[in-house]
């Protein structure tokens, strides 16, 4: 297939390009580098089956030639309020990527009679009252809170995707992505893994908010990409959770990172001053992915962190 990927220079977009190129497809990549990193796709620039256009998806999208699939991954995604690339500091751009960007990408898919895949997020569940989260759960969200620019952009994106499927019969898919980590992720992302792994490799004590009882589940990027590709190749139109079901408290996670990296500086607990509505629990129910896609993650947390450490060391300039 000839596949259009938006947000191609992002963490997931670049890994997705690697996998689909390896599968024999041709990739047309779009990115405006507002949060994407040109270094993530530098190794692809000489590949004759990869072409790149610098473009903002909130504007009309023109792609020369026919495309067979459109994968919409363009959006700020970092919850770090201190990061200039985080959605707290790019609120309008985030809403535009989810609303106008999704509309434009669906237009390309419709015009080309191509299949369409939306990168949605576990954030559409908000601070969940149901645990683990199934795709049927409608969420516990605050439409005017500080996180709403990301949550509601993705919720709208899902709604318009299903509208194009039902009204225009566009061949759509929706993946709800849970916490993912691995090489090429932004070290200033603001999520637990980059924060803690960076501190550990610098020999610093790890910062845990509150008592560390809040939980997350972490999926290694190669496993996540495998699930997304299986969904792309499937005929499933309803949303599918892709992520790890191995739930772990942030305190346990910090202890694991110190153990794996050999960091002896310990852990410090600080007042839980995280952003309002920061979810206290996050774990996917992946029954639908198991049944429909025959997918589940394979890499253990220890294996995934060990594969991620060399990238972080390189970026931090440590041995």
Instruction: List pLDDT tens digits, range 164-206.
Output: 999 999 999 999 999 999 999 999 888 889 999 999 999 999 9
In-domain check, residue 232: yes
60 occurs within a structural domain: yes
Report the distance separating Cα 207 and Cα 273, nearest Å.
12
In degrees and rounded to multiples of 5, residue 124 shows phi and psi of -65, -15
Query: What is the per-residue pLDDT for 219?
Result: 96
128 within domain boundaries: yes
pLDDT digits (tens, 9 = 90+) for 223-232: 999 999 999 9
Q: Mapping DSSP to helix (H, G, I), strand (E, B) and coil, where does residue 54 land?
A: strand
Calculate the dihedral angle through the C-alpha atoms of 156, 116, 6, 299, rounding to the nearest 10 degrees: 90
What is the number of domains present in the chain?
Answer: 1
Q: Which of 18, 26, 25, 30 has the alpha carbon at shortest distance from 59?
A: 30
CATH of residue 78: 3.40.50.720
Note whether residue 270 is domain-resident: no
Bridge-partner residues for 269, per DSSP?
208
Choose among 226, 142, 138: nearest CA to 177.
Answer: 226
Tell me how far apart the alpha carbons of residues 193 and 185 are, in angstroms, rounded to a whole number: 10
Note the pLDDT of residue 273.
56
Task: Say if 174 falls within a structural domain.
Answer: yes
Q: Give domain status of residue 140, yes or no.
A: yes
Which residues are catalytic, by number? 150
Residues 74, 121 contacting (CB under 8 angstroms): no
Query: How far, in Å, CA of 242 to CA of 297, rounded?
Result: 9
Domain that residue 119 falls in: 2-183+219-246+279-299
The segments of the chain whose pLDDT lies below 50 read 275-276
**Is 29 a member of any domain?**
yes
Residue 195 belongs to some domain of the structure: no
Q: Where on the phi/psi map is residue 113: left (φ > 0), alpha (ψ -120 to 50), or beta?
A: left
pLDDT at 51: 98
pTM (2 d.p.): 0.94
User: What is the model's pLDDT at position 188?
Assistant: 86
């Amino acid at each position: 297939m000839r596949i259009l990927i938006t947000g191609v220079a992002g963490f997931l977009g670049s890994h997705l390009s690697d996998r689909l190129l390896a599968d024999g497809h041709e990739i047309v990549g779009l990115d405006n580098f507002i949060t994407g990193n040109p270094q993530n796709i530098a190794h692809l620039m000489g590949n004759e089956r990869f072409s790149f256009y610098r473009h903002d998806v909130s504007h009309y999208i023109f792609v020369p030639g026919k495309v067979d699939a459109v994968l919409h991954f363009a959006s700020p995604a970092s919850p770090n309020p201190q990061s200039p690339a985080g959605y707290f500091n790019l609120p309008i751009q985030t809403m535009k990527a989810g609303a106008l960007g999704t509309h434009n990408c669906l237009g390309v898919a419709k015009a080309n009679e191509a299949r369409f895949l939306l990168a949605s997020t576990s954030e559409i569940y908000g601070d969940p009252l149901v645990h683990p989260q199934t795709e049927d759960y409608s969420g516990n969200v605050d439409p005017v809170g500080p996180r709403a620019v990301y949550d509601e952009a993705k919720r709208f994106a899902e709604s318009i995707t299903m509208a194009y499927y039902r009204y225009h019969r566009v061949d759509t898919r929706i993946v709800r992505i849970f916490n993912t980590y691995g090489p090429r992720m932004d070290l200033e992302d603001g999520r637990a893994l980059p924060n803690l792994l960076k501190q550990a490799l610098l020999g610093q004590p790890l910062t845990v908010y509150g008592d560390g009882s809040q939980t997350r589940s972490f999926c290694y990027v190669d496993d996540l990409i495998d699930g997304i590709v299986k969904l792309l190749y499937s005929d499933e139109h309803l949303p599918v959770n892709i992520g790890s079901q191995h739930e772990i408290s942030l305190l346990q996670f910090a202890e694991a990172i110190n153990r794996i990296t050999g960091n002896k500086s310990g852990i410090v607990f600080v007042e839980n001053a995280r952003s309002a509505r920061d979810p206290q629990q996050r774990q996917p129910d992946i029954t639908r992915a198991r049944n429909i896609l025959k997918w589940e993650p394979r890499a253990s947390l220890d294996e995934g962190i060990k594969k991620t450490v060399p990238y972080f060391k390189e970026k931090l300039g440590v041995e």
